A = this chain, B = another copy of it.
Amino acid sequence: MGVDVGGTKILAIAVDEEGTEIARVRRPTGWGPDAVGDEIARAVAELESVLGVVLGPPVGIGIPGQIVPDTGVVEHAVNLGIERFGLADAVAARIGRRPVVDNDVRAAALGAAALLPDLFSLAYLNLGTGIAAAVVDETGLRRGPRGAAGEIGHLSVDPAGPPCRCGQRGCIESLAGGGSVAERWGMPAELPVLDVFDAADAGIGAAARIRADVVRGVAAAVQLLILSADVDAVVLGGGVAALGDRLAVPVRERLRATATGSPFLRSLRLEERVTAVPGRAPVGALGAALLARTAHPAAPPTRLAPLANPSSTRESIGHS
């Protein structure tokens, strides 16, 4: 079972041995340690009810914030009202078994890797309210900074760019983060960046400027990840990535154009190395479910390609 804890909603799924989703449940996230712990436990209980079991399979939780390694303690989950909380212990007390807890972007990276088995390695670039990335290679999830995902959002790529709450200008997050887009657009919406792209298509200048910043911010993040890490591709995820090709196509064009003057950069074929997860796959919850399969959370997860070839590993992968 995998629980993906978002800023406002929880998605919990149960998957079978092949990693195929067999049930899902949504709940509000709640605010503050007790409420969040309760809602997670209730999501698990609802899934068990749907599955018709009393004590369900192992549970994995992906949650925004920093996870203190090997403790199940989450810190600095600011948007959930959590400064420091023993989440694994609290949920274990409610559901009768100890969940594995990891950062949500890291869990999503694992889920993306399971759905893209042709890639030997990938960086999952989460384009949410903020921007962060996590890397999966053949050793599994690559260790990240102090139990968090790579916080590349606060790297400035333009000193003359839009101001960021972090005090810098033109950082990747102020260019392309959902929170910054919403603030610059100014009009409430379910997904402000969608309104921005629609208005830009309709010729609204202010929207076109924001869109251009989103495209160059995402392209900078992709180039950064490919140049500094060892990944076959960057996978776009998160709310802003819900734009699909409307985002991916201009990002690829930007990467191609940026490389024009350099045989070295052209040789990297950056524009061929940006992709998205298939459809509207719940990569966060799927990845959290996969986390639960590792016997020892600190060990590298098993290579995810077998999920596409279940006959070779059926006996070794249990229900989760």
Contact = CB atoms under 8 A, between A and B. Distances in A.
Interface stretch (A44-52, A185-193, A258-266): A258-266
A220 interface: yes
A16 B158 CA distance: 48
B167 A262 contact: yes
Contact of A258 (B133, B168, B228, B259): B168
Given A158-B159, A159-B158, A167 B260 contact: yes
Contacts of A265: 154, 166-167
Contacts of A146: 230
Given A144-B230, A146-B230, A154 B264 contact: yes
A262 B159 contact: no
Interface in A254-273: 258-262, 264-265
A4 interface: no
A223 interface: yes
Contact of A224 (B159, B160, B166, B228): B228
Interface of A: 133, 137, 143-146, 150-152, 154-160, 165-168, 220, 223-230, 258-262, 264-265
6 A-B pairs with the lowest CB-CB distances in the bound complex, closest first: A167-B261, A166-B262, A150-B228, A145-B230, A167-B262, A151-B227
